[in-house]
Amino acid sequence: MNLDFLKSATIYDIILFALLLILSLFGMVYVYGGSANQGDRVVIDVNNIQAYDLPIDNDKVITQGNMIIEIKGKKVRVKDADCPNKLCVKQGWIVSGSIICLPNKVVIMIKKNIENSIKTDAVSG
């Protein structure tokens, strides 16, 4: 491995590299490990129509057509489905984001309850 570029690197190059590395790590922690983007509701849309809006804290198994959707331990997964590739099943448990099953036209989303997330500001008091 040729490391000649390290000999020509200035202190500013090293500082820039370290800063970019730190920002990347903080971004990964925020996206994957932070609870800021975790929701408190599971919304299931079928054919673009909302079929379920459930709290994520209550463990439940839902049968939607030929799909089995499981909510457990503040996580959601598609336990079984009749789609050809079973990509929705292979996605596994999620704590934020969504699971989309195109063959069954089902979208499972974890969302924040809007009423709980509204905060007052300086103008509205």
Q: Is the pTM of this model over 0.75?
A: no
List C-alpha distances in Å: 104 to 26, 49, 68, 82, 125. 37, 13, 12, 8, 46
Over the chain (125 residues), the average pLDDT of each successive run of 10 is 73 91 88 66 93 92 92 93 92 91 93 62 55
Query: Do 42 and 52 meet the contact criterion of CB atoms below 8 Å apart?
Result: yes
Residue with tokens 């457990």: 72
Angle (CA) 40-42-48 rounded to 5° is: 140
Whole-number pLDDT of residue 79: 95
Whole-number pLDDT of residue 30: 75
d(CA 15, CA 50): 50
